[in-house]
Every structure is written in C-alpha cells, then in structure tokens.
Amino acid sequence: MSLKTVMQKLLSTTFALSSRSLATSTSLWKGYDPVQESLMDNENLILVDAEDKVTGKASKRYCHLVQADGSLPLHRAFSIYLFNTKGEFLLQQRSDTKITFPAAYTNTCCSHPLYIADEMDMSDNGIGVKRAALRRIETELGVGSDQLKAEDVHLMTRMLYEAKSDSIWGEHELAYLFVVKKDIEIKANPNEVKDVKYVSQNEFRDFEKDCDNRDVKFTPWFSLVKRELLFNWWNNIDRIMSTPYDGKIRHMYEK
C-alpha cells in the first residue's frame, strides 16, 4: 500500500471520527436532560452480531449514535409486554426527556442489559437479560421484586430491527421479548415515563386513532411487534404463558 493511500485512509478515518464527535457534542447545545445525558456515557451495552453472539461492549451513547456511514451498532435489548388479570395491556408513554423517541407510546418497559456479568449470563435462556428487565421495570414503573419475580417473566422470542429517531440518534437492536400476566401497582418515574395506560383490545383500536389524531407516535419496535405478534399473545394470554420459548431470532427490519 502506497504512502498516499495510507494517508487518504487516515484522513478519511479522522474525518469520520470528527463527524461522530461533532454529532455527540450536539447533546450539549440541544439541552438534553442531565439524567438521560449521563446514562449515555455511564452505561455500557452489549454489542452482538445477528446471531446474538457477543462482539464487544460500547457506551449507550455510541450504540444509539448514527455513524458516519448511516449505520447503527447492533446491541442486545429487551421489551416487556404486561397484561393484567382483566386482559388489559399496559402501555407507557416515554418521557419528553428521553433522547430517542421522546413522548412516543410503547410497550410496558423496554431497555438494555448491561455489559456486566449478572446481565450477560446466558444460562436458562438468557437469565441475565431477564435480570435486566426486572431492574428496569423497577426503575421505570416502581415495580420491585415484591411484585414481580423472574418466574413471572416469560421469554417468547427475539427480534432484530433498526430505526432512526432523527438524524443523530436511533436504535439497532436484537431484543428479547417477554410477556407477563400480573396485576401490579405502578409508581412511574417521571424522568422515564410520561404516562401509563391500561387498554382492552376494544379500547386499543380507538386509542390508536386518538394518537393518530393528536400526532402522538408509537415507537418503531412496538409498532413491529403490534403488527406481527401482539394480538396473538393477547388473544391467547393464558396459553402463551406456558408456551416454550421458540429460540428464534425474527428479522423484523422494515423493507
């Protein structure tokens, strides 16, 4: 390789890194919430490949930052879908302070396992991810171990998807999808959650229309699950809770 080629590659890499650094620094002048901002650098997430094999770790900021080539780093995540004993589904509206998809309605709880031993434990169909889910539902909704235990959280499947929140931030996740049937008491954390709402199936269609009329969005991952899986779970919730984990990774990228 010639010296000229080496220098060109070095300049190209430097430019890409500088562009990424500039995008990162916009968090300062856009006035993001300090709590959400701190999490971007203080939490390391689990980078994976499309087969869910760990490839490394990276900050939450890096995992959600659109790269110079337009890509987003693939990382491990989870989503909880909770139904009460009346058959109602619990939605949450993300706080206005969230850096990605603020104020969007979504499933009950969604976040990421951290790059720590307890949450990287893949025994028993990924018990580490389940530990992360229990940690986050307490953080977001105040639902502690006195209300919800690991055996209440049923792993159904996994999904791959990618979506941009704006020109700077986005999601590219391999997410574990959990279903819960449980009555819980909620103490929502306002820094994480703007609103919570139980809906029956009949009410859900009207709720969708109301959100559309008010230009309130749904998160892209929830929209995909809603389209492909949610109503099957909802219609068969008692049977679903005893259905074995399917072991699949569903490719749910938007075409």
Instruction: Cite the active site residues.
Output: 110, 173
Tokens, residue 82: 């909770």
Tokens, residue 226: 């809603």
Residue 231, Ramachandran bin (φ over 0: left; ψ between -120 and 50: alpha; else beta) = alpha
The b-or-e profile of 31-55 (16+ CB within 10 A means b, else e) is ebbeebbeebeebbbbbbeeebeee
* 110: phi then psi, degrees, rounded to nearest 5: -150, 135
Tokens, residue 21: 């650094």
DSSP reduced 3-state for 247: coil
- Tell which residue, 29, 67, 92, has the closest CA to residue 169: 67
